A and B are shown apart, each in its own frame.
Chain A
Amino acid sequence: DAGVIQSPRHEVTEMGQEVTLRCKPISGHDYLFWYRQTMMRGLELLIYFNNNVPIDDSGMPEDRFSAKMPNASFSTLKIQPSEPRDSAVYFCASSLHGGEQFFGPGTRLTVL
Chain B
Amino acid sequence: DQQVKQNSPSLSVQEGRISILNCDYTNSMFDYFLWYKKYPAEGPTFLISISSIKDKNEDGRFTVFLNKSAKHLSLHIVPSQPGDSAVYFCAASKDFGNEKLTFGTGTRLTIIP
Asked if A and B are interacting partners, one says: yes
Interface residues of A (CB under 8 A from B): 4, 31, 35, 39-45, 48, 50, 55-56, 91, 93, 95, 98-106
Q: What residues of B have a CB within 8 angstroms of the CB of A55 in the complex?
A: 99
B residues with a Cβ closer than 8 A to A are: 2, 4, 6, 41-46, 89, 91, 97-106
B100–A48 touching, CB < 8 Å:
yes
Find out whether the CB atom of B43 lies under 8 angstroms from the CB atom of A42: no
- 11 A-B interface contacts by CB (under 8 A): A4-B43, A39-B105, A43-B91, A43-B103, A43-B106, A45-B101, A95-B98, A98-B98, A101-B101, A103-B43, A104-B43
* Distance from B34 Cβ to chain A, minimum over Cβ atoms (Å): 9
Q: Can you name the residue of chain A whose Cβ is closest to the Cβ of B9? A: A39
A48 touches B99 (CB 8 A): yes
Residue of B nearest to A38 (CB): B105
